[in-house]
Structure 1
């Protein structure tokens, strides 16, 4: 089973939205994507990349459950565990 980590969030959000948001290094786990400078479209694009790379379904509604990088890790890890 593949693991999904905070580093994966950083890599994917940068791939989707670039460095336009705040600094992604450091302790960002509990900071909202909005506070980091990334809107829901960037998170939606990240979810699409997760689906493509990991082969798991990622419904559009997933964005509502991934407000912070840690919530994204938890949500995606949960999807991977049941895949």
Structure 2
């Protein structure tokens, strides 16, 4: 059985569903290493996104990964690590 993967596309979909998208930010641009606050998402939006990820992917995320100072790359890696362990 192959472990399910969490991708940047998954993250963008969930961010938009939970908090919408800032028109000034191009989510299709180079956002992997930008802090969430820099791409228009504050703490409440990140917490809602984290909750959706936990429910949809059946993982439990560490609070540090859900910081506005964290990057999409860090969050994606953390989710995928948890998915690998769960598989």
Q: TM-score range by the shorter chain?
A: 0.7 to 0.9
Looking at structure 2, the residues matched to 52 and 13 of structure 1 have their Cα atoms a distance apart, in angstroms, of 14
Between Structure 1 and Structure 2, how many residues are aligned?
Answer: 83
User: After TM superposition, what 4+ stretches of structure 1 lie above 3 angstroms from structure 2?
Assistant: 59-62
Structural RMSD (CA): 1.9
What residue is the counterpart of 1:19 in the other structure? 21
**CA offset at residue 42 of structure 1?**
1.1
Structure 2 unaligned segments of length 5 or more: list them.
none
Larger Rg: 2
Choose which of 64, 67, 75 in structure 2 pairs with 1:72.
Answer: 75
Using a 3 Å threshold, how does the CA distance of structure 1 residues 78 and 16 change in structure 2: closer, same or farther? Answer: same
The question of whether the paired residues in 1 share the 8 Å contact of 2:18 and 2:48 is answered with yes
Structure 1 unaligned segments of length 5 or more: list them.
none
What residue is the counterpart of 1:7 in the other structure? 9
**CA offset at residue 2 of structure 1?**
0.5
How does the TM-score come out when normalised to structure 2? 0.82
